[in-house]
């Protein structure tokens, strides 16, 4: 029996259990009185992990771009020819998977037969089966998926931005790879990646719903075998990444009605300490609320001049290896928005952040984090994010409230420097040359 730790938060009226299973897997069980339950099985392995070795190995292995995503697709094929979706069809669970920069996740939600579905989930993800034929078939399907994203303005915008912000950092790699890179994938390389990253010591399981922690442990006992001890050494080559952006603009053309644009701010000020990093993250979220909300000057000035539409989004990604802030919108004149952005930031630096806006922003971020606890999916996702970031889910509300005006101001002055800005634009066809 593993030692089960209970975490509680009185204000939220919530608690969860966590234990390290004897197989090496970290498990989180969050009981929640909902009709449906959600399970998320994740490996710390994503698109950025394309150069790695195990401790003791001499050479680094370099693999084709897009392989983590390819592997995710292939995991659904079982050795007996069955598709993992067919397993979940037996229980009625709705299953899916996704790959991002730093993680691959397999999930299901169900209102019935939770434990049986959990067995299927743990079982299929721990049983790889690849052959040259099945790899070839997948190249056709993923080829069409990549084509679909080629026509997707939002996907092109994001890709362009990351490739402008970063010169070397692996975050600039497209999660799906390219038609050319996935053509290099073979069954052997897939196995190599699988046995490196799908080691249970590099993985975590989070479940949320009407679930009993002891039952979950029993299922782990039944399905999971002890994983060999191993240490993965990953080379993100991010130490060589310059502070400034790689290029100021990334411009492409697509069949869109009006230019869409994203201004990125590259952040190289990333704390090593996980808790401090979490604090930085929420401070940047507050800054986004202060600077770009619809109640603020930035939005209203641009909106009144018809330079932007009602949809102005600001979001932040802040992890150990990369951090950037994105402001995206539609505009008939992206350069004019960019110029205003630069002058607005300079003016705000001179005047300092508005204190009332800070108070409202902190309140807004605090409230969104409480609202999150209404969704089993969001809770499981948050548990996994905190696992990957080595932080504690229940400390978030206190962390948010501990952030003061001075701290946010400090982050503001550190983050906003003109050499850290870049812009990605997707123009309507026939307006601008591609750069």
Partner 1 sequence: MITKSIEVANGVKINYIETDKFKTNYFSFNFITLIDKEKSPLNTLLPRILTHGSASYPSQALIDKRLQYLYSSSLVTRNTTIGKFHIFGLMADMLNDKYTASTSVTSEMISLICDIIFNPYLENGVFSKQYTESEKLEVIDAINAEINNKGRYSLNRCTEIMCEDEIFSIKKTGNVDDVEKITPEQLYKAYKNALKNYKIEIYAVGKLDIDKIALTLKAHFEKIEREIETMPSIEIKRSASEVKRVCEIQDVMQGKLCMGFRTGRTIEDGNYHIAQLFCEIYGGSPTSKLFVNVREKKSLCYTCRSMITQKSGLMYVMAGIEATNKQIAEDAILEQLDCVRLAQITPEELESAKKSLKNSYMNIYDSPSAMELWTLNRELSGNFDEPIGEAQRVDSTTKEQIAEYARGITLDTVYFLKGEDSNG
In the bound state with partner 1, the residue whose beta carbon lies nearer, of 49 and 72, is 72
CA distance 81 to 310: 49
CA angle 165, 365, 156 (to 5 degrees): 30
User: Within the chain, what is the greatest distance between any pair of CA atoms?
Assistant: 67
| Residue reference for tokens 């593993």 | 2
| Residue reference for tokens 């993100």 | 236
CA distance 303 to 431: 23
Q: Does 35 bind partner 1 (CB under 8 A)?
A: yes
Q: Does 374 bind partner 1 (CB under 8 A)?
A: yes
CA distance 277 to 317: 11
Residue in 15, 137, 225, 410 binding partner 1, rule: CB under 8 A: 137
**Is residue 158 helix, strand or coil?**
helix
In the bound state with partner 1, the residue whose beta carbon lies nearer, of 359 and 419, is 359
Q: Does 313 bind partner 1 (CB under 8 A)?
A: no
Q: Does 47 bind partner 1 (CB under 8 A)?
A: no
Q: Does 376 bind partner 1 (CB under 8 A)?
A: yes
In the bound state with partner 1, the residue whose beta carbon lies nearer, of 46 and 296, is 296
Q: Does 208 bind partner 1 (CB under 8 A)?
A: no
Compute the residue count for the chain. 435
Residue in 8, 79, 132, 151 binding partner 1, rule: CB under 8 A: 151
In the bound state with partner 1, the residue whose beta carbon lies nearer, of 306 and 343, is 306
- Near partner 1 by CB under 8 A, which window of 28-36, 42-50, 337-345, 405-413? 28-36
In the bound state with partner 1, the residue whose beta carbon lies nearer, of 68 and 204, is 68
In DSSP notation, 40-99 reads EEEES--TT--EEEETT-SSPEE--TTHHHHHHHHHTB-TTS-BHHHHHHHHT-EEEEEE
Residue 298 beta carbon to partner 1: minimum distance, rounded to whole angstroms: 11
In the bound state with partner 1, the residue whose beta carbon lies nearer, of 230 and 375, is 375
Residue 394 beta carbon to partner 1: minimum distance, rounded to whole angstroms: 14
CA distances from 344 to 165, 302, 304, 347, 416 (A): 21, 11, 15, 5, 11
Identify whether 184 is a catalytic site residue: no
In the bound state with partner 1, the residue whose beta carbon lies nearer, of 91 and 323, is 91
- For 186, phi then psi, to 5°, come to -125, 165
The count of chain residues that interact with partner 1, using the rule CB under 8 A, is 65
Q: Which of 57, 59, 72, 167 is catalytic?
A: 72
Interactions with partner 1, residue window 263-302 (CB under 8 A): 289, 293-296, 299-300
Q: Does 365 bind partner 1 (CB under 8 A)?
A: yes
Q: Does 79 bind partner 1 (CB under 8 A)?
A: no
Q: Are 197 and 189 in contact (CB under 8 A)?
A: no
Residue in 254, 270, 307, 336 binding partner 1, rule: CB under 8 A: 254
Q: Does 429 bind partner 1 (CB under 8 A)?
A: yes
- Here the tokens at position 25 are 């897997």
- Near partner 1 by CB under 8 A, which window of 93-101, 241-249, 319-327, 411-419? 93-101
CA distances from 251 to 331, 367, 406 (A): 14, 37, 37
In the bound state with partner 1, the residue whose beta carbon lies nearer, of 183 and 429, is 429
Assign residue 169 a region: left if phi > 0, alpha if psi is -120 to 50, beta otherwise? beta
Q: Which residues, 6+ apart, have CB-to-CB distance to 134 below 8 Å? A: 74, 77, 187
Q: Does 402 bind partner 1 (CB under 8 A)?
A: no
Q: Which residues, 6+ apart, have CB-to-CB distance to 323 below 8 Å? A: 266, 267, 268, 269, 270, 316, 317
Residue in 95, 102, 105, 211 binding partner 1, rule: CB under 8 A: 95
Q: Does 127 bind partner 1 (CB under 8 A)?
A: no
- Near partner 1 by CB under 8 A, which window of 63-71, 166-174, 319-327, 362-370? 362-370
Q: Does 435 bind partner 1 (CB under 8 A)?
A: no
Q: Are 49 and 68 in contact (CB under 8 A)?
A: yes
Positions marked active-site: 72
Instruction: Give contact residues for partner 1 (rule: CB under 8 A).
Output: 11, 33-36, 83, 85-86, 89-95, 109-113, 137, 140-142, 144-145, 147-148, 150-151, 153, 254-258, 260, 289, 293-296, 299-300, 303-304, 306, 309-310, 330, 360-361, 363-368, 370-371, 373-376, 429
């Amino acid at each position: 029996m593993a030692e089960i730790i209970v975490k509680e938060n009185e204000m939220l009226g919530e608690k969860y259990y966590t234990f390290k299973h004897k197989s090496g897997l970290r498990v989180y069980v969050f009981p929640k009185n909902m009709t449906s339950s959600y399970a998320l099985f994740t490996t710390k392995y994503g698109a950025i992990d394309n150069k790695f070795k195990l401790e003791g190995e001499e050479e680094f292995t370099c693999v084709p771009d897009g392989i983590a995503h390819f592997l995710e697709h292939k995991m659904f094929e079982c050795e007996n020819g069955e598709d993992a979706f067919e397993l979940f069809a037996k229980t009625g669970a709705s299953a899916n998977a996704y790959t991002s920069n730093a993680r691959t996740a397999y999930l299901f939600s169900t209102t019935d037969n939770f434990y049986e579905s959990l067995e299927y989930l743990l079982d299929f993800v721990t049983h790889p089966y690849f052959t040259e034929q099945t790899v070839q078939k997948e190249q056709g399907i993923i080829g069409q998926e990549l084509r679909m994203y080629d026509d997707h303005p939002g996907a092109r915008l994001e890709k362009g931005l990351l490739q402008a912000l970063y010169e070397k950092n692996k975050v600039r790699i497209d999660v799906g790879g390219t038609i050319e890179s996935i053509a290099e994938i073979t069954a052997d390389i897939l196995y190599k990646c699988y046995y490196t990253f799908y080691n249970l010591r590099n993985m975590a399981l989070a479940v949320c719903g009407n679930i009993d922690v002891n039952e979950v442990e029993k299922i782990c006992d039944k399905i999971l075998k002890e994983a060999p001890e191993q240490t993965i050494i990953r080379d993100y080559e991010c130490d060589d990444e310059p502070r400034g952006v790689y290029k100021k603009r990334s411009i492409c053309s697509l069949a869109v009605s009006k230019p869409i644009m994203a201004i990125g701010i590259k952040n190289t000020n990333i704390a090593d300490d996980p808790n401090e990093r979490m604090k930085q993250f929420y401070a940047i979220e507050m800054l986004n609320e202060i600077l770009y909300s619809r109640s603020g000057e930035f939005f209203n000035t641009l909106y009144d001049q018809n330079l932007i539409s009602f949809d102005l989004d600001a979001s932040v990604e802040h992890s150990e290896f990369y951090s950037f802030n994105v402001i995206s919108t539609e505009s008939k004149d992206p350069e004019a928005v960019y110029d205003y952005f630069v002058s607005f930031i300079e003016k705000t630096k001179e005047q300092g952040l508005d204190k009332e806006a800070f108070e409202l922003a902190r309140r807004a971020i605090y409230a969104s984090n409480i609202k999150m606890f209404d969704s089993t999916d969001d809770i499981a996702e948050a548990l996994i994010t905190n696992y990957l970031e080595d932080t504690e889910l229940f400390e978030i509300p206190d962390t948010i409230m501990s952030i003061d005006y001075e701290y946010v101001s400090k982050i503001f002055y550190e983050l906003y420097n003109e050499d850290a800005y870049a812009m990605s634009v997707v123009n309507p066809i026939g307006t601008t040359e591609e750069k």
